[in-house]
Amino acid sequence: MWLGLHSPDDAQMAAVATVFDLHELAVEDAVVAHQRPKVEAYGDTLFVVLRTLAYVDHASMAETAEVVSTGEIMIFLGADYVITVRHGEQTELATMRHRMEEVPSALAVGPSVVLHAVADRVVDAYLAVVDEMDTDLAEIETTVFTGPTVDIDPVYLLKREVIEFRRASTPLAAALARLTAPNPWLPDEVRTYLRDVSDHLTTVNDRVMDYDNLLSSMLDAATAKVGIQQNTDMRMITAWAAMAVAPTMIAGIYGMNFENMPELHWRYGYFVVLGLMATICFTLWRTFRKHGWL
Amino acid sequence: MWLGLHSPDDAQMAAVATVFDLHELAVEDAVVAHQRPKVEAYGDTLFVVLRTLAYVDHASMAETAEVVSTGEIMIFLGADYVITVRHGEQTELATMRHRMEEVPSALAVGPSVVLHAVADRVVDAYLAVVDEMDTDLAEIETTVFTGPTVDIDPVYLLKREVIEFRRASTPLAAALARLTAPNPWLPDEVRTYLRDVSDHLTTVNDRVMDYDNLLSSMLDAATAKVGIQQNTDMRMITAWAAMAVAPTMIAGIYGMNFENMPELHWRYGYFVVLGLMATICFTLWRTFRKHGWL
Amino acid sequence: MWLGLHSPDDAQMAAVATVFDLHELAVEDAVVAHQRPKVEAYGDTLFVVLRTLAYVDHASMAETAEVVSTGEIMIFLGADYVITVRHGEQTELATMRHRMEEVPSALAVGPSVVLHAVADRVVDAYLAVVDEMDTDLAEIETTVFTGPTVDIDPVYLLKREVIEFRRASTPLAAALARLTAPNPWLPDEVRTYLRDVSDHLTTVNDRVMDYDNLLSSMLDAATAKVGIQQNTDMRMITAWAAMAVAPTMIAGIYGMNFENMPELHWRYGYFVVLGLMATICFTLWRTFRKHGWL
Amino acid sequence: MWLGLHSPDDAQMAAVATVFDLHELAVEDAVVAHQRPKVEAYGDTLFVVLRTLAYVDHASMAETAEVVSTGEIMIFLGADYVITVRHGEQTELATMRHRMEEVPSALAVGPSVVLHAVADRVVDAYLAVVDEMDTDLAEIETTVFTGPTVDIDPVYLLKREVIEFRRASTPLAAALARLTAPNPWLPDEVRTYLRDVSDHLTTVNDRVMDYDNLLSSMLDAATAKVGIQQNTDMRMITAWAAMAVAPTMIAGIYGMNFENMPELHWRYGYFVVLGLMATICFTLWRTFRKHGWL
Amino acid sequence: MWLGLHSPDDAQMAAVATVFDLHELAVEDAVVAHQRPKVEAYGDTLFVVLRTLAYVDHASMAETAEVVSTGEIMIFLGADYVITVRHGEQTELATMRHRMEEVPSALAVGPSVVLHAVADRVVDAYLAVVDEMDTDLAEIETTVFTGPTVDIDPVYLLKREVIEFRRASTPLAAALARLTAPNPWLPDEVRTYLRDVSDHLTTVNDRVMDYDNLLSSMLDAATAKVGIQQNTDMRMITAWAAMAVAPTMIAGIYGMNFENMPELHWRYGYFVVLGLMATICFTLWRTFRKHGWL
């Protein structure tokens, strides 16, 4: 028997708990959202908490403050029943249920098949989110390393979402390890299939961990890049400034009011000085060019 | 029997120790505050140290140097008695005691019920502090990423408080693990309930660890942001400076005192030069604008 | 019997699976690429996933965005057959197969010999990639520490490739550990040889981990170097600016139009002022030189 | 029997070794200072190495290069004797010995009581050093976050001392764990007391680890702060520079020598221009003020 | 029997392998240099790989790119023979051999004594290198914290050598742990002596790990220091610039050509303006001085 609930309130949950004789602590956990992934055994009943993740679409990394949204699915697994409690809109289960009910043989093994199906679907959703993050990461890399200016906010934003992601997926590894180890609640066949889910989860966790490292390196690289950019700018600015300062200084000298300044009376003094200024500017330009400041 | 003490002095504690035959080392620990969370067995008596945490209200992150205050609760658990020793004003126990004494059945299981009740209350208080920190973190994120200037002090301040928090909550995980494992002091039922407390503590520890990571990333991101801000400022400053330097240079040239400077005698020389200056400034303005320096 | 497949499609794989009675989950993994290295036992069949790596040639670190390309080799090892499934062009197996088939005694031990041969070849390819990375790293070190300007992009790029590399090689260590431990699928002799492969892998993992650390340090060192470079530049710029500003200021003073400025009427006033300017510039030049600003 | 030695030379130690039949390797370790904390069993004899720490007084963090000094105490514990070898002046033992000898009952348990007494005293000295470091850390925090300029040297200096500290205290934890576990050399009572010492050591290690983290964060925060300070300075400098450059540019224009410059002949032209300059400066001042640059 | 080889070629090694019946894989490892430290048992023969380290003398940290050079020593330990194979010139063994052969009793225990002697000598050489690195580190600290300019290259260089060092010494700890644990190849006495070597190695590893941390902190501290230096420079530069800009602006004003500028006709106008300039400069100088910019 498979009972599916969506964001039940206290009263609904209490009714269900009475019928199936569920443990008070598990029921409490099932009503309050924001639980940590875990596996807990209360007598014959297995209580499993999974966190669901969904990618929130956004036009660009800078436009939204939320890349990953989270929900929960709790599963009560008894000898002859399974109860799924879902919080949030992530990882909808109805489609899956219909598909499973069309293949009666699938459910013949017992309610633990549902546990595998749900876990599989949750981890597949993780994988989908990770793929989207991959795209985001590539977009950020392009922005940071080839864009005209470095923008740090998306790096931090994705870092935060990666941490959010890991809060959901990392503890699940330990929970799945408990389920795949020999235990009295799950038949061997289901455990083999859960081991496959566990493998996929490890892949997810590896990739998310890598993103975490990459984003940290990117922050460091961006800091260095900003410094380099500033140095390049400063050199260019300085080069142009030097080309303006030199003529100004010379003009200042010939703007002095001394009575006896022979150059002022030369016929072509002015033109010679203009030429001198142009020569100096050109020489400076060539020198800076040669040293890569321009 | 439940005996509750608040910041007892040596004499009081010695009297209690004599009556209940408490171990010298535990009694010493119970008087001196600033202990580390731990579980220690002295013969039949279980000695448990918990650190209590409370959030210190403050108008803004910059205004106070203390976000989290700490205290201790020590518990002596004997076969037929429980002694709680509280240091500091955090996590008051009286209300809880009254509530428990109104439901006699609750205490029927034995004094270990009090141990669970106290641990539950302490960890619930952790959760409340974490929620407040969440708000602080969001406030700091807003300041760092959208404010007009980056302020680093609140980031460091919260980092320090997070470390303070972890000093209280992290060792408690190991202590609770000892209590939830099969042991001669606690009945199975109490251990099941303590496992629930332990789960909540893990959630708390995960979140605080995440804050720690986020604050580190924020420090790195802020460093990069400051560099970017400086570069942007420098470019804007330079652009305006260039627009002032060019006319100054031209004015300098026509301020020279050469006898033979034909332009000076042209009727509209002055106006042509003024126009030239304006044209140069406008061209520079447009160029800088196009390259995003203005 | 040794069956070698290259990027088989679903139909081909299904046919093979039927013949050899392979487990559904393993077959699914063998078709879909981008698996994580692992060892999985399905009844008598051992299913091993290896990731292959190849170094992508490039003229310089800055020119390409991909230094390491990856593929997969999956191995089904039964009592009397071995099936290798290869995805990607890395680590070609045909040559190795021909060589092995020329020495019939080599294959006499059984199909597990092929497992060792493939693993050995894959890890040898890792070693070759690591050697190439060594060269890249040395090149980057030279660029960062002795080049005229610091370029950050290759550091980040190699860091990313190192992370990619570790995603392939790190999980293989755990997989090999399972194969070298006593197990029912592999004879002792093969296990001894696999231990040698495992040793080589550890060397590879150590070296790649070291690159990771070095690249992180290099990012930090580069950030500091950029700051130092900027400071040096700023000092040099300032020194030259001072040498231009001082004469300009003096020229400005003697460009004032006061009626009573005695110096203006001195015969050699102009020359004295020119000399003063030169002296000031030379003194500044010597002072800056002495303090290492020039 | 309790034999106390202070910085013995080879000959003295050799004599003692002969009398008590001590193991060659332990004797060698006892003569050479700079050992690592450890517990080693040679037959019936237990050989324990402890590192002693003392805080070196200094007027301010910047004035001294050494905040923590280190020494060693080695203990040979036999069935009916204990030999303590002390190197360095830290953690003097004589006072403790006199106190213990006045209470004969204390020593009745056997020589292992001395082991506990020495370990307790050494760890208490750690705690005293940690308290002093706490004060230093608070002083440095004040300097970095509220002082007029950021000074990095004390942060690095304390970081180095923290690392020095951890070299002494961290390995001791493993050594004490060996002594508090059931073992043939120590009676249960002494082990209970050593567990208390071990608890204190854990507190010390936690706190020192926290200092380590805080100092790292402080370095990062200081880097960001320096950048912010520089940006603030640059903005202020720029604002004042703009207020000087604008009048200079205008003055330059009216210093040109064109024959036909109508404004020059206006009666109040000069005063109008002076007023214009003042207005521009005031407008700039107000604008910069409004944007927080001044 | 003790056979010592130095950088043998394939043929020599093959001959030896035939005589002593050595395992193919060990022989292969013994010929190819650049192995990882390890202990491997092939039947009765123990095969041990050690990496040797030597400090490369250099006048200053900046002058050389190589601080530590590495070699290998491989040991084949049979029941009645020991074969040492040495690659590289580090850690010469001949002297040690002569000394051992002069004390026949030393070798009476069996060939495993040689294993201890070699390991002891290798680790002693590590300790010598670490002592030299200590000096280098102190030299770098002095350069970074008290020198006129911060130089980053030696910090990175030593960091790289520390990583090189750890590649040799860290895996040896695991190898030695295998030898000091009870095993069929080594008598108890030799294991006790190897435990002493293992202790020394732990000291070495602790210290090198500390250097690693210190160098990382130094990179961070240097980055912050460079920023501080730049800020200090910028403030000083600005102060002097302000003192040049103010007179220039005033001179510009009195260089204007307005017909009606009363000050120009005052008798002492010029001297009053000169005095004004001097007063402004002095006031600025005093103000900057007071605020610590000069």
Query: Quick check: B145 and A160 CB within 8 A?
Result: no
Residues in B closer than 8 angstroms to D237, CB to CB, are none
Query: From CA B175, how far away is CA E49, in angstroms rounded?
Result: 43
Half-sphere exposure at residue A192, Cβ-oriented, CA atoms within 13 angstroms = 11
Query: From CA A28, how far away is CA C10, in angstroms rounded?
Result: 46
Residue C34 pLDDT: 75
Determine which of A103-117, D240-254, E259-273 has the lowest per-residue pLDDT on average. Answer: A103-117
On whether any CB of chain B is under 8 Å from the CB of D62, the answer is no
- Asked if the model's pLDDT at residue D194 lies above 90, the reply is yes
Q: Are residues A126 and A24 in the same domain?
A: yes
pLDDT band at A123 (very low <50, low <70, confident <90, very high): very high
Alpha-carbon Rg for chain D in angstroms: 34
Mean pLDDT score, B221-240: 87
Element (H, E) at A116: helix A112-146
Residues in B closer than 8 angstroms to A268, CB to CB, are 260
C24 vs E60: which has the higher pLDDT: C24
pLDDT band at D207 (very low <50, low <70, confident <90, very high): very high
On whether any CB of chain D is under 8 Å from the CB of B152, the answer is yes
Residue that terminates a domain, selected from C174, C198, C228:
C228
Query: From CA A110, how far away is CA D256, in angstroms rounded?
Result: 99
Identity at C145, one-letter amino acid code: F
The token pair at A100 is 């499973």
Q: Are residues D51 and D113 in the same domain?
A: yes
Q: Are residues A155 and A259 in the same domain?
A: no
Mean pLDDT of chain C: 89
Distance from CA of E1 to the nearest CA of D (A): 27
- Please name which of C225, C196, C233 lies closest in space to residue C120, comparing C-alpha atoms: C196
Residue A130 pLDDT: 94
The token pair at E292 is 């610590």
pLDDT digits (tens, 9 = 90+) for C237-264: 888 888 888 899 999 999 999 988 998 9
Choose the closest CB to A220 out of C220, C230, C270.
C220
Query: From CA E75, how far away is CA E117, in angstroms rounded?
Result: 12
pLDDT digits (tens, 9 = 90+) for B43-74: 888 999 999 999 988 776 665 667 899 999 99
Mean pLDDT score, D47-58: 91
On whether any CB of chain E is under 8 Å from the CB of D209, the answer is no
Residues in E closer than 8 angstroms to D163, CB to CB, are 210, 213-214
D residues 241-270 lying closer than 8 A (beta carbon) to B: 241-242, 245-246, 248-249, 252-253, 255-261
Query: From CA C24, how far away is CA D157, in angstroms rounded?
Result: 61
Query: Quick check: A255 and B258 CB within 8 A?
Result: no
The alpha carbon dihedral of C141, C143, C148, C149 has a sign of negative
> Is-contact B54 B125, C-beta < 8 A?
yes
Distance from CA of D190 to the nearest CA of E (A): 26
Beta-carbon contacts below 8 Å between C and E: 127
Element (H, E) at A41: strand A38-42
- Please name which of A66, A83, A106 lies closest in space to residue A189, comparing C-alpha atoms: A106
Question: What are the start-end ranges of the E strands in chain C?
Answer: 2-6, 38-42, 45-55, 68-77, 82-87
Q: Are residues A192 and A218 in the same domain?
A: yes
Residue that terminates a domain, selected from A193, A210, A228:
A228
Determine which of D70-79, D259-268, E29-38 has the lowest per-residue pLDDT on average. Answer: E29-38
pLDDT band at A185 (very low <50, low <70, confident <90, very high): confident
Q: Are residues B172 and B50 in the same domain?
A: yes
- Asked if the model's pLDDT at residue D144 lies above 70, the reply is yes
Q: At what angle do helices C188-254 and A188-254 cross, to 10 degrees?
A: 20
- Asked if the model's pLDDT at residue A158 lies above 80, the reply is yes
Residues in A closer than 8 angstroms to C45, CB to CB, are none
Residue D95 pLDDT: 84
| DSSP H helices in B151-268 | 153-180, 188-254, 262-265
pLDDT digits (tens, 9 = 90+) for A193-249: 999 999 999 999 999 999 999 999 999 998 888 888 888 888 888 888 888 888 999
Choose the closest CB to C249 out of E149, E248, E267.
E248
Distance from CA of C37 to the nearest CA of E (A): 23
Q: Are residues B208 and B234 in the same domain?
A: no
Residue that terminates a domain, selected from A228, A260, A279:
A228
Q: How many structural domains does chain A have?
A: 2
On whether any CB of chain A is under 8 Å from the CB of B147, the answer is no
Q: Which residues contact C248 (CB under 8 A, 6 or more apart)?
A: A245, A248, A249, A252, E248
Q: Are residues B160 and B194 in the same domain?
A: yes
Q: Are residues E224 and E251 in the same domain?
A: no
> Is-contact C252 A252, C-beta < 8 A?
yes
Query: From CA E71, how far away is CA E67, in angstroms rounded?
Result: 14
Question: How many CB atoms are located within 10 Å of the residue E165 CB?
Answer: 26
Q: Are residues C255 and C137 in the same domain?
A: no
Query: From CA A107, how far away is CA A112, in angstroms rounded?
Result: 9
Question: How many CB atoms are located within 10 Å of the residue A64 CB?
Answer: 12
pLDDT band at D287 (very low <50, low <70, confident <90, very high): very high
On whether any CB of chain D is under 8 Å from the CB of B142, the answer is no
Question: How many CB atoms are located within 10 Å of the residue E25 CB?
Answer: 16
- Please name which of B61, A216, E217, C170 lies closest in space to residue D220, comparing C-alpha atoms: E217
pTM above 0.90, yes or no: no
Distance from CA of A99 to the nearest CA of B (A): 35
The alpha carbon dihedral of D63, D66, D68, D69 has a sign of negative
The domain in which residue C129 lies consists of: 2-228
Choose the closest CB to A254 out of B199, B246, B258.
B258
Query: From CA B91, how far away is CA B55, in angstroms rounded?
Result: 11
CA D121 to mean position of chain CA atoms: 21
- Asked if the model's pLDDT at residue A57 lies above 70, the reply is yes
Identity at D128, one-letter amino acid code: A
pLDDT digits (tens, 9 = 90+) for C41-63: 888 889 999 999 999 887 776 65
Residue B212 pLDDT: 93
Query: From CA B115, how far away is CA B176, in angstroms rounded?
Result: 11
Choose the closest CB to C226 out of A196, A199, A224.
A224
pLDDT band at A62 (very low <50, low <70, confident <90, very high): low
Q: In which residue ranges of chain E is pLDDT below 50? A: none
The interface pTM score, or ipTM, of the predicted complex is: 0.83
On whether any CB of chain C is under 8 Å from the CB of E152, the answer is yes
Q: Are residues A247 and A132 in the same domain?
A: no
Q: Which residues contact C141 (CB under 8 A, 6 or more apart)?
A: C218
CATH number for the domain spanning E254: value is 1.20.58.340
Angle at C47 between CA C46 and CA C48, to 5 degrees: 115
Determine which of A242-246, C82-86, C210-214 has the lowest per-residue pLDDT on average. Answer: A242-246
- Please name which of E138, B218, E91 lies closest in space to residue A153, comparing C-alpha atoms: B218
Query: From CA D254, how far away is CA D128, in angstroms rounded?
Result: 74
The edge-to-edge listing of strands for the beta sheet with D82-87 is D2-6, D82-87, D68-77, D45-55, D38-42
Residue C96 pLDDT: 84
Angle at C262 between CA C256 and CA C267, to 5 degrees: 105
Q: Are residues D218 and D235 in the same domain?
A: no
Mean pLDDT score, C96-107: 80
- Asked if the model's pLDDT at residue C105 lies above 80, the reply is no
pLDDT band at D272 (very low <50, low <70, confident <90, very high): very high
Element (H, E) at D52: strand D45-55
DSSP letter for each residue of C32-56: S--PPPEEEEETTEEEEEEEEEEEP
DSSP-based three-state secondary structure for C255: coil
Write b or e for each residue in A94-106: b if 16 or more Cβ atoms lie within 10 A of its Cβ, otherwise e: eeebeebeeeeee
Half-sphere exposure at residue C51, Cβ-oriented, CA atoms within 13 angstroms = 24
- Please name which of B74, B32, B30, B86 lies closest in space to residue B49, comparing C-alpha atoms: B74
Residue C207 pLDDT: 93
Query: Quick check: B159 and D234 CB within 8 A?
Result: no
Q: Give the residue on D whose Cα is nearest the Cα of E246.
A: D244
On whether any CB of chain A is under 8 Å from the CB of B292, the answer is yes
Residues in B closer than 8 angstroms to D231, CB to CB, are 149, 226, 229-230, 233
Mean pLDDT score, B7-29: 89
User: For chain C, what is the total number of helices (H) and then of strands (E)?
Assistant: 9, 5
Q: Are residues A79 and A181 in the same domain?
A: yes
By the 10 Å C-beta count (0-12 exposed, 13-18 middle, 19+ buried), D77 is classed as buried
Residue E62 pLDDT: 64
CA E143 to mean position of chain CA atoms: 15
CA dihedral E14, E16, E20, E24 (to 10 degrees): -30
On whether any CB of chain A is under 8 Å from the CB of C231, the answer is no
> What DSSP state is assigned to residue D267?
T
